[in-house]
Amino acid sequence: MATFLYLIRRVLQAVVVILIVTVAIFCLLHALPGGPARGILGPQATAQQIAEFNREQSLDKPLPVQYFVYLRTLLHGDLGTSYTLNESVAQLIGQRLPKTLVLTVLSALVGLVLAVPLGMWQAVRRNKPVDYAVTTLSFVAYSTPVYFLGLILVLVFNHILPWFPAQAPQGDSLGQVFADPAGLVLPVAAGAASVVAVFSRYMRAATLENLSEDYVRTARAGGSRQGAILRRHVFRNSLTPVVAMLGYYVPVLFGGALVIEQLFNYPGMGLLFWSAAQSSDYPVLLGCVLVISIATVVGTLIADVVQRIVDPRVKAGEV
């Protein structure tokens, strides 16, 4: 029951957060120089054309009224129309988002598959050379700008060793993306590096914490081997909370995708956002930010709820 009430409260909070995001996005739109009319009609538009456009779009109304107009269209699933691409923003994002999800989900998966055993290995060999070496590598991977890492990957695995293409898969459909798996290798590797760095640290910490728990001592006293304890108890108890942390990692994954898509010319939402920024295509920019923030809020919500369910101790620290 307590968990159910908590869930309701958290969902309400998430709705409030998304409302605040829409206010922020709305303010950003109106802070832009020239306003939306100038952006849509171009620099040559006459004052009369602008006035007409503003009347049509209710832009001559007071700001709070405009905000509710904006919110109403949003609730109808209408994110507006791109200034430059002559398509609705919802359609554009619908086309591009799946590709970004392929990139981010693959990066997260590959990263986790490497990070989990690495972190456990480090915990078992705590303060041994291996632990220090992996920790140092994690710091390096975390501290490398993604575009620099991508550049190095291209230089090594495309230019020097011609193993993988330097360009991500092209084409509009997901089928075309999966038809060229080699093209995904370098972009996914660039995206996975920071996941490995961060999540091996989480896994190391979680494993260490579990290893010091009473149940491990009991199992050891009962004659269980170290390997069996790790596999049977520690792995399971550490994995769920660590994987749940991915929920908090959503904005970082999208931030990485923004750079990686530009670097590897991968036509996902990041590249859409990038070109929209170059052409001041505000409806596209705002639509993308809204989608990303909703994904982040949902990710955080899931992570919070999972952590609460798997670790009742979190409740004690709940505020």
Least gap, CB of 104 to another protein (angstroms) = 12
Q: Which residues pair with 81 in a beta bridge?
A: 88
Residues contacting residue 157 through CB under 8 Å, at least 6 positions apart: 163, 164, 185, 186
Q: Are 119 and 201 in contact (CB under 8 A)?
A: yes
- d(Cα 52, Cα 37) in Å, to the nearest integer? 9
Q: Does 20 bind another protein (CB under 8 A)?
A: yes
Scanning residues 70 to 99, which ones bind another protein (CB under 8 A)? none
Least gap, CB of 191 to another protein (angstroms) = 12
Q: Which residues pair with 88 in a beta bridge?
A: 81
Three-state SS at 174: helix
> Which member of 82, 100, 107, 138 binds another protein (CB under 8 A)?
138
Number of CB atoms found within 10 A of residue 242's CB? 21
Window of 84-92, 106-114, 143-151, 232-240 that interacts with another protein by CB under 8 A: 143-151
Q: Does 6 bind another protein (CB under 8 A)?
A: no
Closer to another protein by Cβ: residue 144 or 167: 144
Q: Does 35 bind another protein (CB under 8 A)?
A: no
Least gap, CB of 275 to another protein (angstroms) = 11
- d(Cα 48, Cα 228) in Å, to the nearest integer? 78
Crossing angle of helices 129-143 and 89-124, rounded to 10°? 160
Residues contacting residue 178 through CB under 8 Å, at least 6 positions apart: 102, 169
| Token pair for 211 | 């290893």
Scanning residues 209 to 228, which ones bind another protein (CB under 8 A)? 209
Binding site for another protein (CB under 8 A): 13, 16-18, 20-21, 24, 28, 32-33, 132, 135-136, 138-140, 142-145, 147-148, 151-152, 154-155, 159, 194, 197-198, 201-202, 204-205, 208-209, 248-249, 251-252, 254-255, 258-259, 273-274, 277-278, 280, 285, 288-289, 292-294, 296-297, 300, 319
